[in-house]
Copies of this chain bind each other. A is one copy, B any other.
Amino acid sequence: MKHPIIALMTDFGTEDGYVGAMKGRILSELPDALVVDISHNIKPYDIRQGAFCLNNSYPNFPDRTVFVAVVDPGVGTERKGIVVKTSQHYFVGPDNGIFSFVTHREGYQASEIMLKAFSEEVSHTFHGRDVFARIASWIGGGKDIKKFLDPLREVVSFLKSPHKNNENEFILEVIHVDHFGNLVLNFQKNDLLGYEDVSGVTLKIKEFELHRIHETFGMVPRGELLLCWDSSGFLQIAQNMGNAAEKINSSVGDQLRLII
């Protein structure tokens, strides 16, 4: 028999027992749940790192997986709790941009979680356990939770679509630096649909100019910068056997030009 899958990602670390509390709550609500750890080592409050981690993971999971993502510096303030439903998955967590990649890549319906619909008191400091873990378990178990949800038109996102300057030029942005120093850009494979010849692309960032999109790091000499697709289909700037972010001295938010 297939178990409902609840996949967890937090910035809690494990040593204070808060992750254990969430797991216990899920298994109490949904005894046949399969609880899967994605990460509990997201840098505290680093919503972008969390969003990127989730982006690398979620497309590989089976249909109907429920993801709970808690990187939540605003817990206890007016920030909303939300449920995002795509054609394949459910996502539960704070409305702070943690689902930016999901809503950028997928069609979706969003709902706000209504705290006042909970019959008992909800802690002010631990929505991961008292709100998100429970909502996720109820979704995983196929419960009707309509009374907890209110339709929501817009979800917070830090991801911008690439800006088209003219027919052959995009303004891109660095959206993430991974732990190898690769610079991930807001440009995906399907942003190239409609262009017949993409062999001659040029990317300009600071004093550097890169040509072509390569298949692997090893296709350029050691120490050289290159363009390639990351394993989620985003364009990235890498350095063969090196750290591109350091070499270029670039970081999240930097802009650059792509000429096709």
Taking the closest CB of chain B, its distance from the CB of A137, in whole angstroms, is 12
Known contacts A36-B35, A60-B25, A125-B231; A17 and B216 CB within 8 A of each other: no
Contact of A7 among B9, B20, B36, B231 (CB under 8 A): B20
Interface residues of A in 6-54 (CB under 8 A from B): 7, 9, 13-25, 27-28, 31-32, 34-43, 49, 52-54
User: Is there an interface contact between B54 and A41, defined as CB atoms closer than 8 Å?
Assistant: no
Pick from B5, B19, B54, B55: contact of A38, CB under 8 Å? B19
**Are B13 and A41 in contact, CB atoms less than 8 angstroms apart?**
yes
Given contacts A13-B179, A53-B17, contact A76 B216 (CB under 8 A): yes
Which of B13, B19, B40, B61 contacts A28, CB < 8 Å?
A: B61
Q: Which residues of B contact A129 (CB under 8 A)?
A: 60, 231
Interface size, A (range): 35 or more
Q: Which residue of B lies closest to A219 (CB)?
A: B124
Known: A13-B41, A17-B39, A217-B76. A62 touches B31 (CB 8 A): yes
Distance to closest chain B CB from A256 (angstroms)? 22
A77 within 8 A of B: yes
Residue among A21, A41, A59 with max Cβ neighbours from chain B (10 Å): A21
Q: Does B2 contact A56, Cβ atoms closer than 8 Å?
A: no
11 A–B contacts, CB within 8 A, in A order: A15-B41, A16-B178, A19-B39, A20-B38, A21-B56, A22-B60, A24-B57, A24-B61, A76-B216, A76-B218, A125-B216
A interface residues with partner B (beta carbon < 8 Å): 1-3, 5, 7, 9, 13-25, 27-28, 31-32, 34-43, 49, 52-62, 65, 76-77, 123-126, 129, 178-179, 215-218, 231
